[in-house]
Amino acid sequence: MAEMNLLQAINNALDIAMASNDKVICFGEDVGVFGGVFRATSHLQEKYGRARCFNTPLVEQGIIGFANGLAAQGSVPVAEIQFADYIFPAFDQIVNEAAKFRYRSGNLFDVAGLTIRTPYGGGIAGGLYHSQSPEAYFAHTPGLKIVVPRNPHQAKGLLLASIRDPNPVLFFEPKRIYRASVGEVPEEDYELPLGQAEVLKEGADITLLAWGAQMEQIEKAAELAEKEGISCEVIDLRSILPWDADTVAASVMKTGRLLISHEAPLTGGFAGEIAATIQERCFLYLESPISRVTGLDTPFPLVLEKEYLPDHLKLFEAIKQSVNF
């Protein structure tokens, strides 16, 4: 085991992926010598050469188009989009191309090797174009997998699994905790399962569900609630697509209450999908309406980001409301 922050864990996962398979290729804006604006690809060019780790011109649709072709050829591209806010020029290449490559060719061709890494989320004074959480746009696209890690150990295992998964994967990295989240990470090669949620803490009164950086807020809120005698079950969804409805439903059948939280706006957010599925599967077990604690239905603010974000206090209030319904 070694102590690593989330960025170091990602860098370590990329290093292991490149060492264990020479078809793995990392590229994106500033990814080469500089190692990426957050340094997630530090030293990879030095170690594996310019052919396997390189800068691209500044063109997101080109980067993902290029990555799709490279994956179709049999390589294992790990493309970086510098901020999730800038992924939209590549929306067509992700939604119409990567996601449908295998389906439309009847499995003659695929982009099995493709992984797209991108930092997402607020809390870094990034304003409306360095803070967004666009996972819900992509969750509406069959053919993609979407993964969001919450800490360094998870990040390494989930990224290695994403790179090796035979489907295109969007890997959203919680940039606010890139350096703040530090933990023990096995130095060896390991993978964590995609499509499986993880129950972090068992409880009896309410299920708290989130992913990525929001897990930190959920855990803080759970501590506050425990002090008031409310027993919280805490679940990290980990994969947005496909998502683990079984684990969430089993938990809600036990607790009778569900709170879902994400930074993205409420309307059309992924919490809505979860709420719809869980009320269908757990209707007779529910003691209160499913609660969604999310960002506001506005662009992401700058000066008022603390007010906008679904922090532990907003979560704590929602937990009490749900329990006292």
| 3-state secondary structure at position 39 | coil
Q: Residue 62 or residue 186: which is nearer to other proteins going by CB?
A: 62
Closest distance to other proteins from the beta carbon of 112 (Å): 7
Known catalytic residue: 60?
yes
**Residue 151, φ and ψ in degrees, nearest 5:** -155, 175
Q: Residue 220 or residue 281: which is nearer to other proteins going by CB?
A: 281
Q: Residue 96 or residue 298: which is nearer to other proteins going by CB?
A: 96
Closest distance to other proteins from the beta carbon of 70 (Å): 4
Helices and strands counted in the chain (H then E): 12, 14
Q: Residue 63 or residue 235: which is nearer to other proteins going by CB?
A: 63
Contact 218, 169 (CB under 8 A): no
Catalytic residue among 29, 80, 97, 130: 130
Q: Residue 222 or residue 271: which is nearer to other proteins going by CB?
A: 271
Q: What is the DSSP string of 262-308?
A: EEEESTT-HHHHHHHHHHHHHGGG-SSPPEEEEE-SS---STTHHHH
What's the rounded Cα separation, in Å, for the pair 76 and 112? 8
Closest distance to other proteins from the beta carbon of 59 (Å): 4
Task: Indicate the pairing of strand 53-55 with strand 239-241.
Answer: unpaired
Q: How many CA atoms lie within 13 A of 184 on its CB side?
A: 1
Closest distance to other proteins from the beta carbon of 82 (Å): 15
Closest distance to other proteins from the beta carbon of 99 (Å): 8
Interface contacts to other proteins, rule CB under 8 A: 25, 51-52, 54, 56-57, 59, 61-75, 77, 89, 92-93, 96-97, 100, 102-110, 112, 142-143, 145, 166-167, 195, 242, 245-246
Closest distance to other proteins from the beta carbon of 258 (Å): 19
Q: How many CB atoms lie within 10 A of CB 188?
A: 7
Q: Quick one: CA dihedral 83, 167, 212, 17, positive or negative?
A: negative
In 192-279 the beta strands, taken as DSSP E runs, fall at 198-201, 206-210, 232-236, 239-241, 258-265
Known catalytic residue: 130?
yes
Q: Residue 169 or residue 208: which is nearer to other proteins going by CB?
A: 169
Catalytic residue among 29, 60, 97, 263: 60
Q: Among residues 153, 147, 145, which one has the least CA distance to residue 3? A: 153
Which positions are annotated as active-site residues? 60, 130
